[in-house]
Structure 1
């Protein structure tokens, strides 16, 4: 009796492995179709331009002052004035470097702050689709390619449109972009 039960388990176990469902989705396509992503992206780009403008202004000020001091400082200029000019330029350069570093950090923080909720919303929708569809794995096909993972799309279900539907993204939002390419 035990042998028959063991044989039955050995024959049924591989069948249960075959019944597992795998899916993939295109994270980039979903993000690009989300209105909140477009809004966040525009806001981040505007912030980047603002920071870049500030840095360019500081660079121009530094360059202008350096050129001015170069013209003013002659052999007749006292050493203490030359040293003061050099120190002032060095201080301006250090402030410029600090501003670049601060702006980079603030930009990254703002980017994270704006994008994290959107990314979490997508992942929540993917998790919902996985649970409702009974999928064992749902893989982002773009990330998998970068990681060297091959997805056989004929054996895996593309759930991109299902995830988009869960997010309330209509088909017209995604078909408008390809139609413009024609």
Structure 2
């Protein structure tokens, strides 16, 4: 009987302690997609990337047009040409196509790497601002809004984080 009373008391104490610990959690949420889309640096980075890669993209597009023109010319002239001439021009075009595809692949890899680096910078600033707001307001967890099923009013700190990002950006812009 003594063991049963001790076990019950211990179970009750554990239950009360765990419910008190759960009550101590302070959880907020952010809309990470909104923060990324409205990040103050996003548009400037997009313009920078566009200007940085526009020249190469234009050259690749012009090169593609030249290849397409050669293919069209071969198709038009094929009935008048000997088989050996057709084969020679096809080989030339295939070489141009292969070289073009290699250039496009390198270009895409390079742009993807730079875009990923810039995206990581934006996400890093969102993470830093979120951490600062969470510490300032005493939140123990901050989760993405897409994971939230229900939340009470006042737990969405998205706008606070966006303001913190903008505030951190202002001194650097001067």
Normalised by the length of structure 1, the TM-score is 0.72
State the shift of 1:44 in Å. 2.8
Q: What is the aligned partner in structure 2 of residue 116 from structure 1?
A: 120
Instruction: Show the 5 A alignment for 1:54-93.
Output: 54-75=59-80, 77-93=81-97
2:44 corresponds to which of 39, 48, 68: 39
Instruction: Show the 5 A alignment for 1:128-143.
Output: 128-141=132-145
1:168 corresponds to which of 142, 166, 169: 166
Q: Deviations over 1:141-179 (max 9, x none)?
A: 1xx3xxxx3431227711112222332349xxxxxxxxx
State the shift of 1:92 in Å. 1.3
Partner Cα separation in structure 1 for residue 153 and residue 15 of structure 2: 24
Runs of at least 5 residues in structure 2 that lack an aligned partner in the other structure: 169-174
Runs of at least 5 residues in structure 1 that lack an aligned partner in the other structure: 171-182
**Alpha carbons of 1:54 and 1:22: their partners in 2 closer, same or farther (altered >3 Å)?**
same
Q: Deviations over 1:106-164 (max 9, x none)?
A: 111110122211211110111222233332221121xx3xxxx3431227711112222
State the shift of 1:20 in Å. 0.8
CA RMSD, aligned part only?
2.8
State the shift of 1:55 in Å. 3.1
Q: Tell me how many residue pairs correspond in the alignment.
A: 162
**Alpha carbons of 1:91 and 1:154: their partners in 2 closer, same or farther (altered >3 Å)?**
same
Normalised by the length of structure 2, the TM-score is 0.75
- Could you tell me whether the CA contact under 8 Å between 2:28 and 2:142 is conserved in 1? yes
State the shift of 1:10 in Å. 3.3
Q: What is the aligned partner in structure 2 of residue 14 from structure 1?
A: 19
State the shift of 1:74 in Å. 4.1
* Structure with more of its chain in helix, by fraction: 2
Partner Cα separation in structure 2 for residue 38 and residue 13 of structure 1: 47
Partner Cα separation in structure 1 for residue 83 and residue 166 of structure 2: 71
